[in-house]
Structure 1
């Protein structure tokens, strides 16, 4: 996400409103500042605060707060495939026997 003047101005105005209305303290240098602001806007009863949240979502190209994205599965810093290990073993021609475990990055069939 690109932080330009319009996004920062909207974030500052929204931060002030959320602090006054809901007593929520969000710092602009937080990694999840935009997401935290949008979630707080959903709890707000004030329509102006909700409109600022909608504007921030449009400016930041943020996904809908109602459908959070699932974090990528990782093993030791490496992204795992979405298919289960048994299906991956079947695709490579290996014959899985029972359960599949990982040992030092290798599949072990027990």
Structure 2
């Protein structure tokens, strides 16, 4: 996708609105910045933010999702762990 002035202006405006409304911190250097912004605009209750999300989808040639994609499910171990459990980089560490 080509990033031109119109796309960048739309992304900056949408980023500010999402940060103010939903307290979502999106960086323009992220690899999935456009999909993160589109997901955030779907969660917004503000019509202007939703309109900006639609405009970004048009400019970036990405189809707009109708619903929010659920997060991947995480399997919980069946047996009880003995000792303490820590989370390190998203993984359970049993000590």
State the 1:32 CA deviation: 0.3
1:78-109 deviation per Cα after TM superposition (whole angstroms, max 9, x unaligned)? xxxxxxxxxxxxxxxxxxxxxxxxxxxxxxxx
1:1-54 deviation per Cα after TM superposition (whole angstroms, max 9, x unaligned)? 110000000000000000000000000010100000000111000000000000
Query: Equivalents in 2 of 1:48, 1:64: separation in Å?
Result: 16
Which sections of structure 1, spanning at least 5 residues, go unmatched? 68-110
Residue 12 of structure 1 pairs with residue 24 of structure 2: no
The question of whether the paired residues in 1 share the 8 Å contact of 2:38 and 2:64 is answered with no
Normalised TM-score (structure 1): 0.58
Which sections of structure 2, spanning at least 5 residues, go unmatched? 68-95
Point out 4+ residue stretches in structure 1 off by more than 2 angstroms: 63-67
User: Of the two, which has the highest radius of gyration?
Assistant: 1
Residue 55 of structure 1 pairs with residue 81 of structure 2: no
Matched pairs, number: 67
Normalised TM-score (structure 2): 0.67
Which residue of 1 is the match for residue 3 of structure 2?
3
